[in-house]
Structure 1
């Protein structure tokens, strides 16, 4: 399995290789590179790269607190490791928060952004309370059915995939959720900085997503100076690349062909 030593972390990644534009896919909380299995078909035209963020998947992190800025530097460090000068970033939820920060840190290296189910601002008080209680119980009680079934329903909502990811969560050390949860809950609002992003962007959302809807997508699109618009993924859940891959892949291919 390929790993890269980046910023004191042993980062796991997958790289399809090839000469096309590099696409770096970043996942959301409690997910990993496997959520982008269906995006591998894009390697017929692009170089598809997926990776596991700190505290997720096969990446071996140092266990210290981190922010999405740190993860953005990990993403850019992965580009350095692979000797890639420029890339397009595709981020889902918290992966979008990482991708946005990478675009702010290295504007000359990021040529396009696709943001899926991404909320750049702070969580609402209600959401903060919900996530705080859920992750607090996850740490003390482990990934019990009451927690995993609710989280899977909110983010995936497809019976077969729900069961597969719940099984993955049960196999992981409960303590690994601590730093990703803190990172999520204590992130700062960078909405005002989105106008600084110079690359073309597109925003996607699943029409069946209970966490991020049309209003949030339109607000994000308007905040991005060079956004090509909003793409609704019909029937898609929060993790749309996993649950509605054909629509997402088609929208990505169309967006990238236009830029």
Structure 2
């Protein structure tokens, strides 16, 4: 674990792999910290300099007052990359991490070598659905939404076959800062990059779990179709969190894309 301050705010991050290897940054989803990437980072770090971090309002990073915007998260990522000396890097972004990746590819494409967008879209959910979730967390904390979120994160097979893992990831959600969760929901509520992503020129692969109830495969596929030259792949037997439920399949797909484009 490592900590650094960016614009006065504490950021928790970790890197693994050879420091002289090409870099890839893994950006996690709403309500998770960078531990969701452990299996993926371990596999990629044989050949890549892998950086993971807790985005603002999550994990052990600080929780600045909300609301947040996607541009805030993108600025945080660029500042961390600058601090670590990453002039160019590949990015794998999950859910809101994928929105951050899309925003970065539009704003600073010269910083990216390759982009993997996992279980994400240029617009996720509706203003009404996010406002309802925000209200529920403000009333009852993260416990008020934990069970419905688990249904969306993981497939029924995961629920029945890996109950201890399910309980652990539910605990991980409950331990996220509620204020940071709400402020991130506000960013998701207001984000819509649909009209812009046709301008992405970074080599892109979109992937989706076939059982994802948060960003269904058709939504992810539609995003890929809007991005020039983007590929699309389905991860079978997987919900919204492939780095936990199907890490080997995610590594195979993302690793192939990174090998083809990410070393530039």
State the TM-score, normalizing by the size of structure 1: 0.91
Q: 1:45 to 1:217 in 2, by over 3 A?
A: same
Aligned match of 1:89 in 88, 91, 94?
Answer: 91
Corresponding residue for residue 243 of structure 2: 241
1:176 and 1:195 map into 2 onto residues whose CA distance is: 30
Q: Please say if residues 104 and 196 of structure 1, whose CA atoms lie closer than 8 Å, have aligned partners that are also in contact.
A: yes
Query: Structure 1, residues 41-66: CA drift from partner, whole Å, max 9, x if none?
Result: 21001111111111111111322322
> For 1:61-100, what aligned pairs fall within 5 Å after superposition?
61-100=63-102
The alignment covers a number of residue pairs equal to 253
Q: CA deviation at 1:17?
A: 4.4
Q: 1:6 to 1:51 in 2, by over 3 A?
A: same
Question: Which residue of structure 2 lines up, in the alignment, with residue 136 of structure 1?
Answer: 135
Contact 2:210 2:238 in 1 (8 A): yes
Aligned to 2:199: 196
- In structure 2, relative to structure 1, the CA distance for the partners of 1:150 and 1:194 (3 Å cut) is same
Q: Is the 8 A contact 2:32 2:172 kept in 1?
A: no
Cα distance in 2 for partners of 1:86, 1:151 equals 34
Instruction: Quote the offset at 1:83 in angstroms.
Output: 0.5
Q: 215-224 or 87-96: which moved more? A: 215-224
Query: Following the alignment from structure 1 to structure 2, what is the Cα–Cα distance between the partners of residues 81 and 173?
Result: 25
**Partner deviation per Cα, 1:195-218 (whole Å, 9 max, x = no partner):** 222210000000111222332222
Aligned residue number for residue 153 of structure 2: 155
In the superposition, the TM-score normalised over structure 2's length comes to: 0.90
Counterpart in 2 of 1:24? 25
Q: How does 1:110-149 map to 2 (within 5 A)?
A: 110-121=112-123, 123-124=125-126, 128-144=127-143, 147-149=145-147
Q: Is the 8 A contact 1:199 1:226 kept in 2?
A: no
2:258 corresponds in structure 1 to: 256
- Give the drift of 1:173: 4.3
1:221 aligns with 2:224: yes
Structure 2 CA distance, aligned partners of 1:170 and 1:256? 33
In 2, Cα distance between equivalents of 1:237 and 1:55: 24
Stretches of structure 2 that go unaligned for 5 or more consecutive residues are none
1:78: how far off? 1.0
For the Cα contact (< 8 Å) 2:63–2:180, is it kept in 1? Answer: no
User: In structure 2, what is the Cα distance between the partners aligned to 1:76 and 1:224?
Assistant: 22
Higher relative contact order (CA 8 A, sep 6+): 2
Q: Aligned Cα RMSD in Å?
A: 1.7
SS of the residue 1:191 aligns to: coil
Q: Distance in 2 between matches of 1:172 and 1:217?
A: 26
1:4-83 → structure 2 map (5 Å cutoff)? 4-18=4-18, 19-40=20-41, 41-83=43-85
**Structure 1 residues 197 and 7, CA gap change in structure 2 (3 angstroms):** farther
Does the 8 Å CA contact 1:36/1:242 hold for their aligned counterparts?
yes
